[in-house]
Amino acid sequence: MVRVLQSLNRTIQVVENWFAIALMGASALITIAQVVTRYGFNHPLTWPEELCTLLLVWMTFVGASLLLKKEQHIEIDFFTKLLPLPAQKVIALFNIVLMFGFLVVAAWGAWKLQFFQSRHYSVALGIPKNFFSLPVLIFSVSMCIYLLLAFTRRVIEFTWPETAPNAAPAFKPQG
């Protein structure tokens, strides 16, 4: 199970990396085009603001997913570091469960919004408004897959430290 989750997570992470690059590039080009048409030709376009807002929403959630997988989110661990290593491990497992629960609720809410928002269209682009909440659903599921892997690794490491995989453990406590 761990190998399947690792393989799936690696594939998703590669796709997310390239997707983030594409989103950033598109956002920059669209912003430059808007500046040129507005100030260079005195004829601003109507759609770039809405499209850049949409791209920003997508970039936010793909970035959150990538940061979780690279363990680069901000973490306040002052008090946790004062605890003994077994307590740190238990807290790390508890944190994974909390994050997983939150992401399941977020994904469920986004799923419910898809049907409602698909009937409403944006003003400038004319696309369904569910494209604005779709990244919450997609990247919540992506982060849940990673958290399943992180939880599995931590349980193996906690219960059978001698059989833990050599790969870098997820959410390694500081000791």
CA–CA distance, 106 with 6 (Å, rounded to integer):
23
Helix, strand or coil, per DSSP, at residue 24: helix
Q: Buried b vs exposed e over 46-79: b needs ≥16 C-beta within 10 Å? A: eebebbbebbebbbebbbbbbebbeeeeeeeeee
Tens digit of pLDDT per residue, the chain (175 long)? Answer: 788 888 998 999 999 999 999 999 999 999 999 999 999 999 999 899 999 999 999 999 999 999 999 988 888 888 999 999 989 999 999 999 999 999 999 999 999 999 999 999 999 999 999 999 999 999 999 999 999 999 998 898 888 776 655 544 455 555 5
Question: What amino acid occupies position 12?
Answer: I
Q: Do the Cβ atoms of 17 and 66 come closer than 8 Å?
A: yes
What lies within 8 Å, CB to CB, of 122 at 6+ separation is 50, 54, 128, 129, 131, 132
Instruction: Record the pTM.
Output: 0.84
Strand partners of residue 128 = 121
Alpha helices in 36-129 (DSSP H): 48-69, 85-117
- The token pair at 109 is 């809410």
What six digits make up the tokens of 148?
């399943």
